[in-house]
Amino acid sequence: AQRVTQPEKLLSVFKGAPVELKCNYSYSGSPELFWYVQYSRQRLQLLLRHISRESIKGFTADLNKGETSFHLKKPFAQEEDSAMYYCALRDNNDMRFGAGTRLTVKP
Amino acid sequence: SQTIHQWPATLVQPVGSPLSLECTVEGTSNPNLYWYRQAAGRGLQLLFYSIGIDQISSEVPQNLSASRPQDRQFILSSKKLLLSDSGFYLCAWSARWTPLHFGNGTRLTVT
């Protein structure tokens, strides 16, 4: 079965600093990976997915099959980026999430 | 457009009482439906998912059960709640190859 690991439960950076939220996975097939975000008092929502290869709100994530990683990055963090971030991997209909990383961006 | 409704938003129930949480999806047909439990430090735990009526996969053995009486309705139930059932429960849907869309969640407190 697939497995997703987010090694950092908490991450704190200052506004304007780069941020990287780590995600590692274990999966024998070709993975379909996602990042979800939950802002305070809002529902969990999709941030980006690896097949789209897009940048959303300044965030990017590159799938590295050699390192089995899908780290989320942003060059200049903003206070409004403070939220809970979840990495997820889908195998057919089975969607598994990591434990999540709470990002706090300090002014 | 598609919408997902989950209710109630909050629920306080005594130990040993039954549970029924309901989730419905509008604007799509034959969605994949999911129940997750969100716990601090443990992320999102997949409880059940369903790819069709009466097709439900259980991921974690526990005293919870799920049913899908209609195409766009997914119900999470328990006959007797335990203290450990307290948590935040999320319903989600997806179509094949699309991302998951989540409901607002239900905060369950078992006293």
What architecture is domain B3-110? Sandwich (2.60)
Q: pLDDT tens digits for A52-78?
A: 878 889 999 989 989 999 999 999 999
Q: A81: which residues sit within 8 A by CB, 6+ positions away? A: A19, A57, A74, A103, A105
Residue-wise pLDDT tens for chain B (111 aa)?
889 999 999 999 999 999 999 999 999 989 999 999 987 767 888 999 999 998 898 887 678 999 999 999 999 999 999 999 999 999 999 987 788 999 999 999 999
- Tell me whether residues B99 and A46 touch, CB distance under 8 A: yes
Instruction: Report DSSP letters for chain B, one per residue.
Output: --EEEEE-SEEEE-TT--EEEEEEEES-SS-EEEEEEEETTTEEEEEEEEEETTEEEE-S-SSEEEEEEETTEEEEEESS--GGG-EEEEEEEE-TTS--EE---EEEEE-
From chain B residues 52-91, the ones with a CB under 8 A of any chain A CB are 57, 90
Task: Please indicate if any CB of chain B lies within 8 Å of the CB of A97.
Answer: yes
Inter-residue contact B105 to A43 (CB < 8 Å):
yes
Give the pLDDT confidence score for residue B41 in this predicted structure: 67
> Is residue A46 less than 8 Å (CB to CB) from chain B?
yes
Q: How far is B13 from chain A (nearest CA, A)?
A: 23
- If DSSP codes are grouped into helix, strand and coil, which group holds residue A85? strand
A84 close to B (CB below 8 A)? no
Q: In order of start, what are the domains of chain A with their CATH numbers?
A: 3-106 (2.60.40.10)
Residue contact B34–A95, C-beta within 8 A: yes
pLDDT at B61: 65
C-alpha B98: how far from chain center = 19
Specify the pLDDT at position A54.
82
Chain A residue with minimal CA distance to B52? Answer: A93
Give A87 to chain B, closest Cα distance, Å.
10
Angle at A70 between CA A68 and CA A75, to 5 degrees: 140
Say yes or no to pLDDT of A31 above 90: no
Closest partner CB to B99 (pick from A34, A97, A98): A34
